[in-house]
Chains A and B, each alone.
Chain A
Amino acid sequence: MVLAVEAGPRTRHPLTPLLYRLAGKRRETEDTVTLTLEPAGEPIPLARPGQFNMLTALGVGEVAISISNDPAVGEPLEHTVRAVGAVSRALCQTAPGQVVGVRGPFGTAWGVRELLHSDVLVVAGGIGLAPLRGAVRALLERSPAHRPRPQLAVVVGARTPEQLLFEEEVLNWQHSGAHVLLTVDTARPGWAGPVGVVTDLLGQVPLDLTRSSALVCGPEIMIRFTARALVRQGMRPEAIRISLERNMQCGVGLCGHCQLGPWLICRDGPVFTYGERVESILGVRER
Chain B
Amino acid sequence: MAETIVELIGGHPLLEGLSPTDVEQVAGCSRNVVAEPGDILFLEGDPATTLYLIRRGRVSLEVHAPGRGPLVIETVGPRSVVGWSWLFPPYRWNFTGRVTSPLGAVAVDGNCLRAKAEADHELGFLLMRRFASLMLERLQATELRVLDLYGDGPGR
Contact = CB atoms under 8 A, between A and B. Distances in A.
B148 A159 contact: yes
Contact of A185 (B140, B150, B153): B150
Nearest to B78: A204
Given A87-B156, A158-B150, A163-B150, A188 B78 contact: no
Interface in A166-219: 185-189, 191-197, 199-201, 203-204, 218-219
A55 B90 CA distance: 58
A163 B155 CA distance: 18
Interface residues of A, number: 38
By secondary structure, the B interface counts as: mixed
Contact of A188 (B71, B140, B155): B71
Contacts of B71: 186-188
B49 interface: no
A219 B74 CA distance: 20
Contact of A196 (B74, B98, B101, B156): B74
Given A192-B100, A193-B75, A195-B72, A185 B148 contact: yes
Contacts of B37: 192
B141 A197 contact: yes
A85 to B, nearest CB: 3
Contacts of B148: 159, 185
B155 A187 contact: no
By secondary structure, the A interface counts as: mixed
Given A186-B72, A194-B58, A86 B156 contact: yes
Interface string B131-155: 0000000001100110111111111
B94 to A, nearest CB: 16
A158 B145 CA distance: 10
Contacts of B150: 125-127, 157-159, 163, 185, 218-219
Contacts of A88: 155-156
A61 interface: yes
Contacts of B124: none
Interface of B: 37, 58, 60, 62, 69-75, 77-79, 98, 100-101, 140-141, 144-145, 147-156
Given A126-B149, A186-B71, A194-B77, 17 more contacts: A84-B154, A125-B150, A157-B150, A159-B151, A163-B150, A185-B149, A188-B69, A188-B72, A189-B70, A192-B37, A193-B75, A195-B74, A199-B144, A219-B150, A221-B144, A221-B149, A225-B140
Interface of A: 61, 63, 82-88, 125-127, 157-159, 163, 185-189, 191-197, 199-201, 203-204, 218-219, 221-222, 225
21 contacts: A84-B153, A84-B155, A88-B155, A125-B149, A158-B150, A159-B148, A163-B150, A189-B60, A189-B69, A189-B70, A194-B58, A194-B75, A195-B75, A197-B141, A197-B149, A199-B141, A201-B77, A204-B79, A219-B149, A219-B150, A221-B147
